[in-house]
């Protein structure tokens, strides 16, 4: 009997010892895999497991490191970015009251007859295209300026001579004589730019020289009409990199430090949205300005609006609508400029342009691009929908004289 009780006690003691041992083992195992309390266990290696390959750090990771891709980009281009100061003298008319004979009868001729003048000063940015001293900037930066001063990053200043201005694309070329040791901005290709790419704006916003802002490319081919600049023919790069007055004419860079655009426009009613002229467009315009000092743009002479069947139906169901328009996709002619190629060809207000030279047209931007890419004096076959009838008209393009048309 005693033997049986002793055996039972030993068995229970063994069970407790085994339970304690297992508990300790599980606890140690658990502690081993907790990353906050122990080193991770080495991963098992098998013969068939391929070795891990180190990946190249992305620009995003580099941006937060000690060596920033933005720093590299700015160091590459920064010396070629210039500040442009302009001066313009304007003459203001005297108050007609002082010219009145009745006034002079009583007060005599002691008042000056010479009209008062005023000095207007402007500020913008630009960048050097080649070692000979060609600087690219916006037309509105140097337009009508009596004096242009170009200041380099190293402090040197030079008098600039405007070689050519194109108001339609808001581009200008300025020449400085500074020898052949000038830094040159490397030009990229805007055709390779994608939404989401890095965008680095460099310039002199609000007079703060050598300012750099960083963002991304928000969208591409944003038309000047959508931006609210109806007198231009451009498709902008839109970016959220901060662009302020004074940035105009400065470069927009990609992550490699290549110029992909020229900062040109901001929206007063929008926060964090800026626009840049694509560099591929600027290259072509700059080359023409350098050769001839101007750029010729063909035009038809219509003010237009993109039309959809829904918009047409909405117009046609309005009892106060002055005209009924075809319920089709196309470009509605809102106005025909007098004495223009369109007027001479017989295009009328209310016509809907649906084809040019056999190519279907559905937006005003598409029509404008087709006309812009044509030659001066080229005859375009324009198909219009007029009421229930379709007509084919021949329009000979002419040179655009007034950017407002």
Annotated catalytic residues are: 140, 170, 248
How long, in residues, is the chain?
405
CA 88, CA 292: separation in Å to the nearest integer? Answer: 24
Q: What angle do CA 246, 233, 398 make, to 5 degrees?
A: 135
CA 334, CA 349: separation in Å to the nearest integer? Answer: 5
Q: What angle do CA 5, 8, 9 make, to 5 degrees?
A: 90
CA 346, CA 341: separation in Å to the nearest integer? Answer: 9
Exposure b/e, 382-395, CB count within 10 A at least 16 = b: bbbbbeeeeeebeb
Which ranges of 164-298 would DSSP assign to H, the alpha helix?
A: 224-227, 279-292
Which ranges of 224-278 would DSSP assign to H, the alpha helix?
A: 224-227
Six-digit token string for 188: 């990229």
Phi, psi of 51 (to 5 degrees): -70, 145
Six-digit token string for 44: 């098992």
CA 199, CA 344: separation in Å to the nearest integer? Answer: 45
Helix count (H) and strand count (E) of the chain? 11, 20
Phi, psi of 309 (to 5 degrees): -55, -35
Specify the residue for token string 């200008």.
Answer: 172
Identify the helix (H) or strand (E) that includes residue 246.
none
- 3-state SS, residue 64: coil
Beta strands in 240-292 (DSSP E): 251-253, 259-266, 274-278
Beta-carbon count within 10 A of 288 CB: 16
CA 92, CA 79: separation in Å to the nearest integer? Answer: 40
CA 333, CA 175: separation in Å to the nearest integer? Answer: 41
CA torsion, ordered 23, 29, 35, 40, to nearest 10 deg: 170
């Amino acid at each position: 009997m005693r033997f049986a009780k002793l055996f039972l006690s030993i068995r229970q003691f063994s069970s407790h010892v085994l339970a304690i041992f297992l508990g300790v083992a599980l606890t140690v195992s658990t502690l081993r895999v907790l990353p906050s309390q122990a080193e991770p266990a080495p991963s098992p290696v098998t013969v068939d497991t391929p070795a891990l390959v180190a990946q190249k750090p992305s620009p995003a990771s580099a941006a937060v490191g000690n060596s920033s891709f933005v720093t590299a980009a700015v160091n590459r281009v920064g010396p070629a970015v210039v500040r442009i100061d302009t001066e313009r003298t304007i003459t203001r008319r005297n108050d007609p009251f002082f010219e009145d004979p009745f006034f002079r009868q009583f007060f005599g001729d002691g008042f000056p007859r010479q009209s008062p003048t005023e000095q207007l000063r402007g500020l913008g940015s630009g960048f050097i295209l080649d070692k000979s001293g060609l600087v690219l900037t916006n037309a509105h930066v140097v337009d009508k300026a009596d004096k242009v001063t170009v200041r380099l990053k190293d402090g040197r200043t030079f008098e600039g001579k405007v070689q050519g201005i194109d108001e339609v694309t808001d581009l200008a070329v300025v020449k400085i004589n500074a020898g052949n040791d000038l830094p040159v901005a490397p030009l990229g290709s805007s055709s390779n730019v994608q939404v989401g790419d890095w965008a680095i704006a460099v310039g002199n916003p609000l007079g703060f020289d050598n300012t750099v802002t960083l963002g991304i490319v928000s969208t591409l081919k944003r038309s000047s009409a959508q931006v609210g600049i109806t007198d231009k023919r451009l498709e902008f790069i839109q970016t959220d990199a901060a662009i302020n007055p004074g940035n105009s004419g400065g470069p927009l860079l990609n992550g490699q430090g290549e110029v992909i655009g020229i900062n040109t426009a901001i929206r007063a009613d929008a926060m964090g949205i800026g626009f840049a002229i694509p560099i591929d467009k600027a290259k072509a315009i700059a080359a023409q300005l350098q050769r001839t000092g101007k750029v010729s743009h063909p035009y038809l002479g219509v003010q237009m609006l993109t039309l959809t069947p829904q918009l047409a139906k909405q117009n046609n169901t309005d009892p106060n609508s002055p005209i009924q328009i075809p319920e089709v996709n196309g470009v509605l002619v809102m106005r025909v400029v007098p004495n223009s190629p369109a007027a001479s060809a017989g295009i009328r207000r209310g016509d809907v342009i649906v084809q040019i030279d056999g190519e279907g047209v559905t937006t005003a931007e598409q029509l404008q691009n087709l006309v812009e890419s044509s030659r001066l004096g080229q005859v375009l076959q324009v198909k219009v929908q007029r009421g229930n009838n379709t007509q084919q008209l021949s329009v000979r393009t002419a040179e655009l004289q007034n950017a407002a048309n």
